């Protein structure tokens, strides 16, 4: 249980075999993607017994098993205090924390918890117990939100007079119930609720009363930075396009019966907004005729060509379309992280890859945010994300990535991925000599669609298949289409192996706490393991800092005219051409290390984004000062 130690508090983990006696079959388990271990049972009459001295005893459940990972815990738990049945709990409708005992003075007690199977419902998952020797009160609330079907857990940060009292993952995803139990009584508490992909919520002026439960009004989280779900067919998040400035690209979206008033390419770097208005030429007038059928025009898609202005800075952009209906009421459509403007297409591309990270909720998404922090520094040409899970949390994390990416979902996927990330089969063309085919299905199905995508790129010299599962037919797919790299994150066999006559290099996922940097040379994968090992990825334990990271000496928020930083590389390999973005007040700047790639002024002329490139030697700390 991740929480701040409170004065006069003892944490008794359920895994403690010295102070806690186990009766029956209990086993240590952790949810996939979590580094927190719990004690679990599905056996009828399995029990835990222990003694304690204190005023308050709090039972701490682990998160219910998410629906895409199996059955949730649904058994009953009888709580006996000094031999007498005190209450019966059901984890499936309880908050993560429950006060078992709350008294005015310290007392000795014997506790016995007994798991029972009720109508074939079984299972409980316990992290441990908090024992307090001081007076306390509880705080409870219900959290729901937009796209509530995708919301599992949230992070709650409780402060009092700006001091953190609790910082933990909570929420019963079946009921939305949350609780922070065993809190010191008092006023001036504030609560912060964080969930990746949702806007953070703040509650202030909370009072905790002695031996009482403070119940907040229900909390509803709104989505942040979402694309207009289902509005864009292409380009869209996870299916980006690569373009030079002064070029153009195609897009298709749902305009209904509205007129297109404005099309923008827009990106944000901290508080700095950088955008350009683009010319848009619609293919045909939406007359209400679609594929030969008379239909209501409001259901028609709009398709056309976008002209990229020649003064647009390089970078990864959103599309923003302003529409107006017949009453001239305006609304906006967004497609996020989908247009990558480059000065030139890569000759020897670099990819960062990871997969099967089990992002089912807030805890795993926080690990992905650390990977994204690292990726923004490494600045590969593209990030390949394989076999992802919950698109609502994943999209929130990926919105922080300033590198184009392809993503697919696999055997633990939540429903609705298409709303955020589009079709399961597609191709990303990076110039005329490199294509990434994103394939989000198993290989035991009709392959005509992916074959057509490959046939359309028969003249492309370097082709990559990015998929969630191993098993593509070697002759029919890999050899027939000269596939250079096959990247996946699920399936048997050697994780690095040469396949077929091409040959195709398979590079697969080893575990959910590592990543790879894949470098190409002359159209072939040249480097794809760590320290020249035959198959090892780059290790990155989930509870550690990113091995490549930035430490700023001043806030990098546009408030400074001078700023300095340390760029840390703890890996045993060089990272060439790393990228650091500085946000400063409007002005002209120079750097004492590396090379300034560009200086881009924000739309409102208040900020300038200074991008510096430099090489990071293995096991090094580089400093950069901007002034």
Q: 454, 460, 458, 459: which is closest to 473 by C-alpha?
A: 454
DSSP bridge pairs for 156: 168, 193
Supply the pTM of this predicted model.
0.93
- pLDDT of 287: 52
Higher per-residue pLDDT: 257 or 368: 368
| DSSP 8-state code for residue 64 | P
Evaluate whether 232-342 and 548-626 have a shared fold: yes
Quote the CA–CA distance of 316 and 314 in Å, as a whole number: 7
The tokens of 522 are what?
């002359």
Matching residue, tokens 């005023």: 55
Q: Output the average pLDDT for the chain.
A: 93
| CA angle centred on 567, ends 563 and 570, rounded to 5° | 165
Q: Residue 223 CB: number of other CB atoms within 10 A? A: 17
Segment 256-309, tens digit of pLDDT = 878 899 999 999 999 999 999 999 998 876 554 445 444 544 456 888 999 999
Quote the CA–CA distance of 367 and 513 in Å, as a whole number: 9
Dihedrals phi, psi of 412, to nearest 5 degrees = -115, 25
Min mean pLDDT across 6-20, 322-336, 594-608 is at 6-20
**Where along the chain do its domains lie?**
9-221, 232-342, 350-539, 548-626
The tokens of 99 are what?
């006060």
Quote the CA–CA distance of 411 and 415 in Å, as a whole number: 11
The tokens of 195 are what?
């969930």
Prior bond of 235 cis (ω within 30°): yes
Asked if 395 contacts 367 with a C-beta cutoff of 8 angstroms, the reply is no
Segment 445-456, tens digit of pLDDT = 999 999 999 999
Asked if 4 contacts 130 with a C-beta cutoff of 8 angstroms, the reply is no
Check whether domain 9-221 has CATH 3.40.50.720, yes or no: no
- pLDDT of 516: 98
- 84: CB partners within 8 A, 6+ apart: none
Quote the CA–CA distance of 235 and 339 in Å, as a whole number: 7
Dihedrals phi, psi of 556, to nearest 5 degrees = -95, 65
Quote the CA–CA distance of 585 and 590 in Å, as a whole number: 13
| CA angle centred on 76, ends 70 and 79, rounded to 5° | 135
What is the three-state SS of 202-238? EEEEEEECCCCEEECCCEEECECCCCCCCCEEECECC
| DSSP 8-state code for residue 415 | T
Asked if 309 contacts 276 with a C-beta cutoff of 8 angstroms, the reply is yes
Whole-number percent of the chain with pLDDT over 70: 96
The tally of CA atoms less than 13 A away on the side-chain side of residue 366 is 16
CATH of 350-539, one of 3.30.930.10, 3.40.50.970, 3.30.43.10, 3.60.21.10: 3.60.21.10
What is the three-state SS of 85-119? EEEEEEHHHCCCEEEEEEEEEEEEEEEEEEEECEC
Quote the CA–CA distance of 136 and 119 in Å, as a whole number: 36
Q: Where does residue 329 rank: exposed (0-12), middle (13-18), buried (19+ CB within 10 A)? A: exposed
Please determine, for residue 620, whether its predicted confidence score (pLDDT) is greater than 80: yes
- pLDDT of 36: 85
**Measured between alpha carbons, how far apart are the two ends of the chain, in Å?**
44
Q: Residue 604 CB: number of other CB atoms within 10 A? A: 10
Quote the CA–CA distance of 68 and 61 in Å, as a whole number: 19
- pLDDT of 3: 39
Please determine, for residue 376, whether its predicted confidence score (pLDDT) is greater than 80: yes
- pLDDT of 34: 79
Segment 23-48, tens digit of pLDDT = 999 999 988 877 789 999 999 999 99
- pLDDT of 203: 96
Q: Which fold has domain 548-626?
A: Immunoglobulin-like (2.60.40)
232-342 in CATH: which number? 2.60.40
- 138: CB partners within 8 A, 6+ apart: 97, 99, 179, 180, 181, 182, 183, 208, 212, 213, 214
Min mean pLDDT across 98-112, 231-245, 413-427 is at 413-427
Q: Residue 30 CB: number of other CB atoms within 10 A? A: 14
DSSP bridge pairs for 110: 51
The tokens of 409 are what?
């979902």
Quote the CA–CA distance of 60 and 128 in Å, as a whole number: 5
Q: Residue 544 CB: number of other CB atoms within 10 A? A: 12
Quote the CA–CA distance of 530 and 539 in Å, as a whole number: 9
Distance of CA 119 to the CA centre of its chain: 37
Please determine, for residue 421, whether its predicted confidence score (pLDDT) is greater than 70: yes
User: What is each CA distance from 319 to 263, 457, 626, in whole angstroms?
Assistant: 7, 26, 31
Query: What mean pLDDT comes out for the span 51-70?
Result: 92
Q: How confident is the model at residue 246 (pLDDT cuts 50, 70, 90)?
A: confident
Q: How confident is the model at residue 2 (pLDDT cuts 50, 70, 90)?
A: very low
Q: 332, 441, 7: which is closest to 182 by C-alpha?
A: 7
Q: 63, 50, 54, 45: which is closest to 18 by C-alpha?
A: 50
Asked if 64 contacts 74 with a C-beta cutoff of 8 angstroms, the reply is no
Whole-number percent of the chain with pLDDT over 90: 86
Asked if 226 contacts 294 with a C-beta cutoff of 8 angstroms, the reply is no
Q: 429, 27, 22: which is closest to 241 by C-alpha?
A: 429
What is the three-state SS of 565-586? EEEEECCCCCEEEEEEEEEEEC
Quote the CA–CA distance of 459 and 191 in Å, as a whole number: 57
- 554: CB partners within 8 A, 6+ apart: 560, 562, 563, 564
At how many degrees (to 10) do helices 391-398 and 362-378 cross? 30
- pLDDT of 191: 98
- pLDDT of 489: 95
Q: 88, 89, 79, 134: which is closest to 109 by C-alpha?
A: 79
């Amino acid at each position: 249980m991740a929480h701040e130690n409170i004065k006069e508090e003892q944490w008794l983990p359920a895994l403690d075999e010295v102070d806690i006696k186990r009766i029956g079959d209990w086993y240590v388990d952790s949810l996939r993607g979590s580094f927190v271990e719990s004690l679990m049972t599905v056996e009828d009459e399995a029990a835990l017994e222990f003694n304690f001295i204190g005023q308050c005893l709090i039972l701490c459940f682990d998160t219910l098993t998410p629906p895409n990972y199996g059955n949730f815990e649904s058994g009953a738990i009888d709580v006996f205090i000094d031999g007498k049945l005190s209450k019966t709990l059901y984890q499936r409708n309880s908050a993560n924390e429950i006060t078992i005992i709350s008294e005015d003075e310290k007392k000795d007690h014997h506790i016995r918890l007994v798991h029972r199977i009720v109508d074939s419902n079984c299972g409980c998952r316990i992290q441990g117990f908090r024992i307090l020797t001081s007076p306390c009160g509880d705080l409870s609330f219900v959290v729901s939100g937009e796209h509530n079907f995708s919301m599992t857990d949230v992070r709650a940060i409780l402060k009092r007079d700006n001091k953190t009292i609790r910082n933990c993952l909570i929420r019963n995803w079946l009921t939305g119930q949350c609780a922070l139990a065993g809190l010191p009584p008092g006023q001036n508490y504030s609560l912060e609720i964080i969930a990746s992909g949702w806007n953070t919520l703040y509650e202030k002026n909370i009072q905790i009363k002695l031996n009482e439960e403070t119940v907040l009004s229900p909390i509803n989280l709104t989505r942040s930075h979402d694309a207009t779900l289902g509005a864009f067919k292409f380009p869209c998040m996870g299916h980006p396009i690569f373009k030079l400035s002064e070029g153009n690209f195609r897009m298709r979206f749902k305009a209904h019966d509205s007129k297109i008033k404005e099309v923008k390419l827009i990106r944000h770097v901290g508080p700095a907004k950088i955008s350009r208005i683009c010319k848009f030429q619609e293919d045909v007038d939406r007359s209400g005729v679609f594929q030969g059928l008379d239909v209501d025009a409001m259901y028609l898609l709009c398709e056309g060509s976008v002209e990229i202005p020649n003064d647009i800075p390089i970078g990864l952009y959103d599309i923003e379309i302003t529409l107006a209906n017949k009453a001239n009421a305006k609304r906006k459509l967004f497609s996020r992280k989908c247009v990558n403007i480059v000065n030139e297409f890569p000759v020897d591309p670099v990819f960062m890859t990871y997969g099967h990270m089990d992002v089912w909720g807030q805890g795993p998404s926080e690990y992905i945010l650390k990977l994204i922090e690292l990726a923004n520094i490494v600045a590969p040409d593209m990030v390949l994300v394989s076999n992802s899970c919950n698109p609502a949390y994943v999209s929130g994390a990926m919105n922080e990535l300033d590198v184009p990416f392809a993503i697919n979902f696999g055997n633990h996927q939540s429903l609705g991925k298409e709303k955020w990330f589009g079709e399961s089969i597609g191709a990303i063309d990076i110039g005329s000599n490199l294509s990434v085919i994103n394939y989000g299905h198993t290989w035991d199905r009709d392959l005509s669609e992916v074959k057509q995508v490959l046939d359309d790129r028969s003249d492309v010299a370097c082709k990559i298949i990015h998929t969630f599962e191993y098993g593509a037919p070697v002759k029919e797919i890999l050899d027939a289409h000269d596939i250079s790299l096959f990247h996946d994150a699920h399936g048997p066999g050697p994780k690095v192996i040469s396949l077929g006559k091409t040959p195709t290099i398979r590079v697969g996922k080893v575990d959910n706490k590592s990543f790879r940097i894949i470098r190409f040379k002359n159209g072939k994968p040249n480097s794809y393991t760590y320290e020249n090992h035959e198959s090892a990825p780059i290790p990155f334990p989930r509870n550690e800092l990113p091995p490549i990271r930035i430490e700023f000496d001043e806030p990098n928020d546009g408030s400074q005219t001078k700023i300095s930083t340390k760029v840390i590389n703890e890996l045993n390999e060089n990272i060439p051409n790393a990228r650091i973005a500085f946000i400063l007040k409007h002005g002209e700047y120079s750097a004492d290390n590396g090379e300034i790639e560009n200086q881009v002024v924000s739309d409102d002329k208040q900020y300038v984004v200074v991008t510096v490139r430099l090489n990071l030697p293995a096991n090094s700390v580089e400093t950069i000062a901007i002034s």
